[in-house]
Structure 1
Amino acid sequence: MEDFKKCTDAAFCNRLLGARDEGYYIDPASVKVFGPAVNAKLLNKATGADFTLTLKAYKGFVRLLVDEDASRKRFEVPGVLMHDLESREGSWVMKAQTSESWQLRCGDAELQLRYSPLQIDISIKGQPVMSFNSRQMFNFEHKRQKQEGDPEGWWEETFKGHTDSKPRGPEGISFDLAFPGMQHVYGLPEHATTLSLKPTVDLADNITSEPYRLYNLDVFEYVADSPFGLYGSIPFLWAQKLGFTVGAFWLNAAEMFVDVGKTDAATFTNWVAESGILDLFLLLGPTPAKVSEQYAQITGTTALPQYFSLGYHQCRWNYRDEADVRQVDANFDKFDIPYDVIWLDIEHTDGKRYFTWDKNLFPDPVKLQEDVASHGRKVVTIIDPHIKRDPGYNIYQEAEQNHYFVRDKDGKDFDGWCWPGSSSYLDMLNPEVRSWWAQQFSLSKYKGSTPNLYVWNDMNEPSVFNGPEITMPKDNLHWGEVEHRNLHNLNGALFHQATAQGLVERGKAVFGSDGDRPFVLSRAFFAGTQRIGPIWTGDNSADWDHLRVSLPMIMSVGIAGLPFNGADVGGFFGNPDAELITRWNQVATFYPFFRGHAHLDTKRREPWLFGEDATRRIREAIRARYVLLPYIYTLFRHANTTGLPIMRPLWYEFPEVEATHGIDDEFLLGPALLVAPVLDAGAESRAVYLPGTGPWYSAKTGEVATPDSSGALSVPVTMDDVPSFLRGGHILPLRERARRSTAAAKHDPYTLLVALDSNGQAAGELYLDDGSSFAFQRGLYAHRLFTFKDGLLSSQELPGTPSRYSTDVAIERIVVVGLRQPASSFSVTEVGSVKVLQAGAGPVVLAEGVPESALVIRKPELPIAGDWSIRLAVTA
């Protein structure tokens, strides 16, 4: 980690973190209200510098903007905010005005704007929830002329032999944000650490650890517990106490540090960024779901993925050649393990020239892709952002001629070092470059590609092996003479966006107007990446610490609006033994993104290479994933429409249960399935916490779980066990037949698993569409609502959704757990029919058996996308 800066190595952080302000106040005469906006002039007592301050009301959140005046305006992050954001504007209601402050109301929130010193306090229903600048740490470094005697680091600084010229001088911003009564804050991904962020300072501002850093970097073999910033950054923080959940999002793509301090009375945070403006959104909740929805209104919801992308992915650096790929593909069938995608890393190219193939290793890539596709599977190739500086390489040649590359501080095309050696980097801030890049994915330009080929963007932080902190110099120049320092954390998302757009355009050219949804995995990310595609958590290691930390990492990224993410199964570095690789696959069954991946120097680790017992267990874990796919796809539709996460912390569903607020070794998949995976070698039992009043049912047996009065439960485990529990009150749609891929299961029937609550009721949903195109955007989908109440199980279209997608697929089994009488006392009659379906016995999904009280209905032959009801009648 010595290659990377700490706060004391970054001049702006060393200068501003923990620093008291210079006396910022609002000129009372300047305060004006224009509809949803309060405008005012903000002044610095010490320097006389003035700024513009705007406080805008929206439905569910408040926006605070501070910038220099029009003649000194700074870089504002483009392309992240939703285009319809202004349609969500609210209005301020004046409550009181004095010479010292204004009191305003917006919805359930009350806001007090204090003039001197500047302070903003927000309460909801009379409860204080946020306070801006209550500790007077707001600082906004104004534009100035260089003078002799200016402090060190203002105009130039050096780290590890790299000098940053800093031509605009100091432009840092800092502020403090307190959360009264709240002991837990979450978010600020990406960090390998606990979900509930640990304090980095104490009340007296004594440093207890490094602050949380947000600066996208290529971190080789990151440690499993550190506040150090990794490959992506989303400056979005959650805070919570009983009854209230709120959030804060700073739209700023420059390097950033955040301190966290805690007292019995509050959690306080101190944020600093190197440049940009203050564009701070304060999300008012007051529930976790509301915070997710509010953030989605600001930055967008999750792109609906292709169905195949939710299956299992097999990857390593690198599959050697076509014969190797074919052998791996065949072995999945030989060992009866489903999978959907096989991946090719950098070695498939001709000398690391992307969009090319090594003709000795991959002489006929089209035939290879077609053969893989004949099994219902896809291929992914890697496309990185560094372009080999080779005049004979058409991508480089065309980009160089059109001046499409990022420039160094002297205006020349930047020359950095990455996998191909000497490389140039495309300037994705320029919309013309993004458009040109997208065109390279057409079948006519990307020779050897087919419609069954999808893409992986790696190294897009960007990674520059010979650059400062293994990345690009901050004084490099982008389109419009924007310095790289202003958009560093956005860089990877722009590259990701352009790549995905290329696949969208290819899909329309091949399939027509409904096209083909893109699948592009990215390592770097920023706010808004959820609208583009998935990410993964980077170069982890094959050890139990990295398995454990994968859970809070995935959940932290998920609640920050980017739910389609996962960790490399088995660890990228190192060699997992049979126990670790088995346990990791058992956990990853429930990851939103499920991919096995490994480093070039590791031993081969395909699922059948760890012995017969491990093969069987990994097969069961991957098959269990395919059983759950209808439920998972439905969760992704909710993420697509509302922004809700897929893999959820316990507190997300149970914010009123204080004991859940610090738990991050268990999680919920959606609202209905709680997973407490085995995360320790040699474990013979697993301590589980089951929140709420229940009931909870074992997902393995259907039996009611019986924790003690505190909610604690000790579960004995073997290597076959993954402690998981069905939440009473929910209905899960499943597909239980074992198939080789999602395509092979397209016409398979469904199972409905009904887990009753204490009132004998349950509800659940199933979302259906073609799984690949954009036709759902014009209403070609079905969204079913299943309900069970008073013995009546019904299916109907979710209110407010169209019924324009039809399928002849039926339900082959219904399992009801939680009945108060044994199954033998029931018969089942379909409403509107004289057909009687007899109760039976049989295994629950993911199960070895069912409790005596369970009801199993075989072959009801009910349409999955049709309206129907069946009543369970006691036969005595």
Structure 2
Amino acid sequence: MEGPNLQHRALLDTLVLTEKGARLKLLEPDTQTTLLLTVSPCKTDTVRILIDELQPIKARYRVPDVRTEEPQVEHLRVERRSEDSVTLSWSSGRHQVRVWRFPFRLEILSEDKAMVTFNSKGRLWLETLQGPPGATSHGSELQEDHTGGLWKETFRQFVDIKANGPSSIGSDLCLHGFSHVYGLPEHADGLQLRDTRDGEPYRLYNLDVFAYDLSSRLGLYGSVPLLLAHKPDRTLGVFWLNASETFVNVHYSTSDHQDGRTPPVKRRRVEPQTDVHWLSESGVIDCVVLLGPSPQQLFTQYAQLTGYQALPPLFALGYHQCRWNYADEDDVKAVDAGFDRHDIPYDVIWLDIEHTDGKRYFTWDSALFPEPAGLQLHLEKKKRKLVVISDPHIKVDPDWLLYCEARDGQHFVKNRQGQIYQGSCWPGESSYLDFTSSDTRAWYSRCFGLDKYKGSTPSLFVWNDMNEPSVFDGPEQTMPKDAVHYGGWEHRELHNLYGFYQHMATVEGLITRSGGVERPFVLSRSFFAGSQRFGAIWTGDNVASWEYLRISIPMLLSLSVAGIAFCGADVGGFVQDPEPELLVRWYQAGALQPFFRGHSAKETKRREPWLFGEDVTAAIRTVIQQRYCLLPYWYTVFHQAHTSGLPPLRPLWVEFPREQSTLTVDNQYMIGGALLACPVTEAGVQEVKVLIPGSGEVWYDVHSAKAYNGGRTLSLPVTLDTVPVFQRGGSVVCRSAECGSCTADLQQLPLSITVALDSQEAADGECYLDDGHSFRYRDNKAFCLRRFTLLSGRLLCR
């Protein structure tokens, strides 16, 4: 995984300054391979490093559609030049880039001190594409002719044939002064990334992993190749834009630095550093360094690069009730009535694959769901919604019109022989829609039209599952890497983008269905950088155990700092049956997380909240009602995510960047800037420890209003009803005065405002409101944003 050390030489005399940045050639002396390096400092305080073959035999894959727009490049000038290096600067004057000739390395400097060194250990690596011997064309028709040597790889019974030979890329970066790094979701692991010298690297490869292992660096359902490094005075990010299988090694260490200002005896000082090595199967090196310097600025820089979190419709922040599967229309109506009977608010009930006619998506089992539109109308009268599943595999059925449309419209992925690729999934033999094609996405979007999707109504929303893609009889239960997509690109190039594109197409379908008026809601299991623009994701097939409840918190924090803010974990665990105490604790945790859904497999016992006795029902009722009362605050922090990139769920170090004690905490978190939550995740405990950060700050228990001074760890007694939540002194939090039966009721209910005074007896906060469902907030500026300030005993609202 570490790769060879190749001493590339930067040909400084080829340096050209263009509107897109600085360009120069790199030469690898042993192979005489020439690469083209482009360095582009941008006005968003980011620096893009792009490396490609100078003259490839065909274009290498560059990830499209993830960047929302090309950032404006700064005008570069040569600051200093010597025989060994050239230093470039730009108008802002805060940072510089220095390129060293031999061995080639690139430094990003602040005040003439290196913050990041690209290729610090000489691990820059780019395997050049090869053409078949004697061939005049490099198209996919030649793939089957060359299966020897490195061009053929065998995994168990699967054979992977590389059309143009091995094409891996990689490089290393040294992050100077940093000893804590985060990000790289999705892994069932802690928030801070571990040193990989004691085991496997972190793998980014989207896979369907049922009941995944804990404390694992193997890839799960989605991936975001964003790494964040933090120290008290700076937060940095490294975004490695590549959608092929990727491995990341992280090494923490210290380095000696000479300081000319100190006497010779004391010249050497030790500074921490983190070395990060990226290695991807294919593509180009496209690396963006985000310079912060604060966590908030870094989140904004990343959102400017890949898009801001979509503002969800208000109902999507309510409670969702799901099961594989609710049996029929009567079952759905009975569960719906059960929530009313037990005075538990909820907004959405979900149907899994069994609602369809033989696992054919966009259909209904006519025996079980004879009147689907009537069922939706029944729910809509109570202002509630229905969500149904829509997976990317299409049952091979020549008598099914939708399959024939997809086949005849060339909407399926092909195998390397040019035939429609087939694999096994829920319906049996299936073909897989090629969402990388804009034509296929447009066709799929039209499938959600009310005229095409018979039995659907405007209150029907969508769940994309199995979209890694999951292929039961494929290598690692996914699609072969030599399958071929639109444009002739092999699946290996874009594997991690597959679910991203289905999510995109589904969202566009729901927006089009509404005439562009209504905000969609789509949950996706697979995701990539930029998926935050489309909606929500969840952590997949977890297990009903305390260990999975505990790991869900760092998993959601890792997703949040990597831009995927609308995230959650199946409450209660997808498989196995939770004991009542675990179920209550999971509801308490889920109610304090962005996406709040109870979900379970069909083999599990039914677990609607009223099936475990009145004590359990009362405890679950209480936390769901508290969630609904807090929805004005949740909606406000989602507005902040939508406009600034700040995630609703934040590790403590985001709000308290200078406090060392916060850097490794991942069992508690901030909701916005005002609330601190520490869900109970241990069985049978009577006391929990909570770090209250912020020396000199005041915190208030939201239930008792008792005040605590910050900068210490509290030991709090807890019962089954206790959920430690604190409001930060100096903040104002808006709640609903009542909970109602669903989010639609909140529009009619009065707000309550909780003012928590700081040590100066001041406080401020804001509340965002709109109609909760349309794009009028964006298109007509139809929203209300109120700022509350308490000064000298007077509460001002403006």
The question of a shared fold, defined as TM-score above 0.5 by the shorter chain, is answered with: yes
**Where do 5+ consecutive residues of structure 1 fail to align?**
1-16, 202-207, 797-876
Question: What amino acid maps onto 1:274 in structure 2?
Answer: E
Are 1:485 and 2:481 counterparts? Answer: no
Q: CA deviation at 1:110?
A: 2.5
Question: Which among 606, 609, 614 is matched to residue 608 of structure 2?
Answer: 606
- Once the two structures are superposed, residues 31-58 of structure 1 have per-residue CA deviations (whole angstroms, 9 ceiling, x without a partner) of 1112451100111111011111100010
Provide the C-alpha distance between the structure 2 equivalents of 1:130 and 1:473, rounded to a whole number of angstroms.
37
Q: CA deviation at 1:105?
A: 2.8
Question: What amino acid maps onto 1:531 in structure 2?
Answer: R
1:334-413 residue pairs with structure 2 within 5 A?
334-413=341-420
Provide the C-alpha distance between the structure 2 equivalents of 1:174 and 1:377, rounded to a whole number of angstroms.
49
Match of 1:854 in 2: none
Question: What amino acid maps onto 1:139 in structure 2?
Answer: W
Match of 1:161 in 2: 157
Provide the C-alpha distance between the structure 2 equivalents of 1:293 and 1:247, rounded to a whole number of angstroms.
11
Match of 1:440 in 2: 447
Match of 2:700 in 1: 697
1:374-773 residue pairs with structure 2 within 5 A?
374-508=381-515, 515-693=517-695, 694-706=697-709, 711-773=712-774
- Once the two structures are superposed, residues 139-196 of structure 1 have per-residue CA deviations (whole angstroms, 9 ceiling, x without a partner) of 1111234689x99972111112111011211100111111112111000000000000
> Do the aligned partners of 1:67 and 1:73 also contact (CA within 8 Å) in 2?
no
Match of 2:169 in 1: 173
Q: Secondary structure at 1:31's aligned position in 2?
A: strand
Question: What amino acid maps onto 2:764 in structure 1?
Answer: A
Q: Secondary structure at 1:29's aligned position in 2?
A: strand
> Do the aligned partners of 1:184 and 1:240 also contact (CA within 8 Å) in 2?
yes
Are 1:103 and 2:99 counterparts? Answer: no
Q: Secondary structure at 2:514's aligned position in 1?
A: helix
Provide the C-alpha distance between the structure 2 equivalents of 1:408 and 1:757, rounded to a whole number of angstroms.
64
Q: Secondary structure at 1:633's aligned position in 2?
A: helix
- Once the two structures are superposed, residues 75-123 of structure 1 have per-residue CA deviations (whole angstroms, 9 ceiling, x without a partner) of 111111112x33x322334321111111223432222211211111223
Provide the C-alpha distance between the structure 1 equivalents of 2:602 and 2:298, rounded to a whole number of angstroms.
41
> Do the aligned partners of 1:242 and 1:655 also contact (CA within 8 Å) in 2?
yes
- Once the two structures are superposed, residues 332-362 of structure 1 have per-residue CA deviations (whole angstroms, 9 ceiling, x without a partner) of 0011000000000000000000000001100
Provide the C-alpha distance between the structure 1 equivalents of 2:570 and 2:443, rounded to a whole number of angstroms.
32
Q: Secondary structure at 2:520's aligned position in 1?
A: coil
Provide the C-alpha distance between the structure 2 equivalents of 1:301 and 1:90, rounded to a whole number of angstroms.
23
Q: Secondary structure at 1:28's aligned position in 2?
A: strand
Query: CA 1:257–1:477 in 2, change beyond 3 Å: closer, same or farther?
Result: same
Question: What amino acid maps onto 1:115 in structure 2?
Answer: R
> Do the aligned partners of 2:12 and 2:86 also contact (CA within 8 Å) in 1?
no
Provide the C-alpha distance between the structure 2 equivalents of 1:743 and 1:695, rounded to a whole number of angstroms.
35
Higher alpha-carbon deviation: 92-101 or 123-132: 123-132
- Once the two structures are superposed, residues 708-762 of structure 1 have per-residue CA deviations (whole angstroms, 9 ceiling, x without a partner) of xx51111110101011110111101100313110012221000011111111111
> Do the aligned partners of 1:300 and 1:530 also contact (CA within 8 Å) in 2?
yes
> Do the aligned partners of 1:313 and 1:595 also contact (CA within 8 Å) in 2?
yes
Provide the C-alpha distance between the structure 1 equivalents of 2:467 and 2:149, rounded to a whole number of angstroms.
28
Provide the C-alpha distance between the structure 2 equivalents of 1:359 and 1:35, rounded to a whole number of angstroms.
61
Q: CA deviation at 1:612?
A: 1.0
Provide the C-alpha distance between the structure 2 equivalents of 1:172 and 1:102, rounded to a whole number of angstroms.
29
Match of 1:777 in 2: 778
Q: Secondary structure at 1:27's aligned position in 2?
A: strand
Higher alpha-carbon deviation: 378-387 or 21-30: 21-30
Provide the C-alpha distance between the structure 1 equivalents of 2:559 and 2:76, rounded to a whole number of angstroms.
33
Are 1:39 and 2:52 counterparts? Answer: no
- Once the two structures are superposed, residues 284-308 of structure 1 have per-residue CA deviations (whole angstroms, 9 ceiling, x without a partner) of 0011111100001110101111000
Provide the C-alpha distance between the structure 1 equivalents of 2:133 and 2:153, rounded to a whole number of angstroms.
16
Provide the C-alpha distance between the structure 1 equivalents of 2:743 and 2:17, rounded to a whole number of angstroms.
56
Length, aligned pairs only: 764
Query: CA 1:484–1:705 in 2, change beyond 3 Å: closer, same or farther?
Result: same
Question: What amino acid maps onto 2:16 in structure 1?
Answer: K
Are 1:196 and 2:181 counterparts? Answer: no
Q: CA deviation at 1:240?
A: 1.1
Higher alpha-carbon deviation: 582-591 or 62-71: 62-71
- Once the two structures are superposed, residues 623-660 of structure 1 have per-residue CA deviations (whole angstroms, 9 ceiling, x without a partner) of 11111110111111111111111110001111110110
Question: What amino acid maps onto 1:766 in structure 2?
Answer: C
- Once the two structures are superposed, residues 571-603 of structure 1 have per-residue CA deviations (whole angstroms, 9 ceiling, x without a partner) of 101100110000001011111100000011001
Provide the C-alpha distance between the structure 1 equivalents of 2:376 and 2:253, rounded to a whole number of angstroms.
58
Question: Which among 49, 60, 68 is matched to residue 53 of structure 2?
Answer: 68
Provide the C-alpha distance between the structure 1 equivalents of 2:792 and 2:148, rounded to a whole number of angstroms.
75
Q: Secondary structure at 1:686's aligned position in 2?
A: strand
Provide the C-alpha distance between the structure 1 equivalents of 2:228 and 2:60, rounded to a whole number of angstroms.
27
Q: Secondary structure at 1:422's aligned position in 2?
A: strand
> Do the aligned partners of 2:205 and 2:220 also contact (CA within 8 Å) in 1?
yes
Q: Secondary structure at 2:708's aligned position in 1?
A: coil
Provide the C-alpha distance between the structure 1 equivalents of 2:12 and 2:434, rounded to a whole number of angstroms.
44
Provide the C-alpha distance between the structure 1 equivalents of 2:792 and 2:89, rounded to a whole number of angstroms.
44
Q: Secondary structure at 1:368's aligned position in 2?
A: helix
> Do the aligned partners of 1:706 and 1:713 also contact (CA within 8 Å) in 2?
no
Higher alpha-carbon deviation: 313-322 or 710-719: 710-719
Provide the C-alpha distance between the structure 1 equivalents of 2:129 and 2:746, rounded to a whole number of angstroms.
62
Provide the C-alpha distance between the structure 2 equivalents of 1:128 and 1:569, rounded to a whole number of angstroms.
45
Question: What amino acid maps onto 1:312 in structure 2?
Answer: Y
Q: Secondary structure at 1:154's aligned position in 2?
A: helix
> Do the aligned partners of 2:448 and 2:513 also contact (CA within 8 Å) in 1?
yes
Provide the C-alpha distance between the structure 2 equivalents of 1:117 and 1:385, rounded to a whole number of angstroms.
47
Q: Which TM-score applies when normalising by structure 1?
A: 0.86
Provide the C-alpha distance between the structure 1 equivalents of 2:113 and 2:451, rounded to a whole number of angstroms.
61
Provide the C-alpha distance between the structure 2 equivalents of 1:589 and 1:121, rounded to a whole number of angstroms.
45
Identity of aligned residues (%): 47
Query: CA 1:152–1:116 in 2, change beyond 3 Å: closer, same or farther?
Result: farther
Provide the C-alpha distance between the structure 2 equivalents of 1:683 and 1:124, rounded to a whole number of angstroms.
48
Match of 2:137 in 1: none
> Do the aligned partners of 2:729 and 2:756 also contact (CA within 8 Å) in 1?
yes
Query: CA 1:418–1:229 in 2, change beyond 3 Å: closer, same or farther?
Result: same
Question: Which among 27, 32, 37 is matched to residue 48 of structure 1?
Answer: 32
Match of 1:259 in 2: 249
**Backbone CA RMSD of aligned residues:** 1.5
1:9-20 residue pairs with structure 2 within 5 A?
17-20=1-4
**Where do 5+ consecutive residues of structure 2 fail to align?**
135-145, 255-271
Question: What amino acid maps onto 2:730 in structure 1?
Answer: G
> Do the aligned partners of 1:140 and 1:171 also contact (CA within 8 Å) in 2?
yes
Question: Which among 123, 129, 136 is matched to residue 137 of structure 1?
Answer: 123
Provide the C-alpha distance between the structure 2 equivalents of 1:441 and 1:601, rounded to a whole number of angstroms.
30
Provide the C-alpha distance between the structure 2 equivalents of 1:761 and 1:327, rounded to a whole number of angstroms.
49
> Do the aligned partners of 2:147 and 2:161 also contact (CA within 8 Å) in 1?
no
Question: Which among 334, 337, 354 is matched to residue 330 of structure 1?
Answer: 337
Q: Secondary structure at 2:212's aligned position in 1?
A: coil
Question: What amino acid maps onto 2:210 in structure 1?
Answer: F
Match of 1:219 in 2: 209
Q: CA deviation at 1:127?
A: 4.8
Provide the C-alpha distance between the structure 1 equivalents of 2:29 and 2:224, rounded to a whole number of angstroms.
33
> Do the aligned partners of 2:206 and 2:223 also contact (CA within 8 Å) in 1?
yes
